[in-house]
Amino acid sequence: MTFYDEAAASYDGHFTRDVDRWEDEVMAGLLAPLTEGRRVLDLGCGTGWVADHCRPAEYTGVDSSGPMLAEMARKHPDAAGVKATVGETGWWNALSPGDGYQTVTATWSLEYLGDLAPLLRVARSLAAPGGTLALHGSMPRGHRRAHFSVKSAPYIALGPHQVRAAARAAGLARPMCVGTSALPDGAAGLGRAAWRMSLAAPAGLHYSAMWLWRLP
């Protein structure tokens, strides 16, 4: 079994702290306008966070863990689950994009999806004209947080420099970066207002970030 196979049954229950709910609010606020009523492809979908918090018209989740996909299907029986390891050669062959996905997204998973430049090329090819890439993951300093559910899972550190370089290599414009968590977990006791104020810090100082590309 993989790291996430073992964690699937209890995965959602791991994120119940106040700070987890605050992060969910920010993430949902960013993603709702990009996903609701749209055809969405979610990379490294896990148990379906996007479908939990937003309302896509069609939702396809890709994940390497069968148990995580099974949990997603239990919660969202209308969703399409695709078992594939994003980053491996030909992983996209399991998809049926039709005219393209209006939004290609990832939440808390970008650093686990393999080399970023090839991923961006594939994501762009799967997206519909005028679509959006909205890819979220932890910054390098984020992996020093104690609350990771699966700390042993391998990842590629992705800070602003790495993401911008990968975008250039993939022929994409410089992305918009929106920080989604800046206050250390240990300071979360200061309250929601302080946590929200911390989001004004430069995105590169955050523990996690959403990278956005609007496609022509």
- Ranges of residues in the chain whose predicted pLDDT is under 50: none
What is the DSSP code string of 117-152?
HHHHHHHHHHEEEEEEEEEEEE-GGGGG-TT-S-TT
Rounded Cα distance, 133 and 105, in Å? 6
The structural domain count of the chain equals: 1
Predicted local distance difference test score (pLDDT) of residue 148? 63
Domain of 92: which CATH number?
3.40.50.150
C-alpha span between 181 and 206 (Å, rounded): 5
Reported as a single tens digit per residue, the pLDDT across 37-60 is 999 999 999 999 999 999 999 999
The pLDDT assigned to 189 comes to: 84
Distance of alpha carbon 39 from alpha carbon 34, whole angstroms? 10
Check residue 184 and give its pLDDT: 86
Residue 98: predicted pLDDT: 83
Q: Which domain holds residue 22?
A: 3-214
Provide the pLDDT for residue 209. 95
Q: What is the pLDDT of residue 50?
A: 98
Instruction: Give the model's pLDDT for residue 150.
Output: 61
- pLDDT at residue number 186: 80
Cα dihedral: 73, 120, 126, 34 (round 10): 70
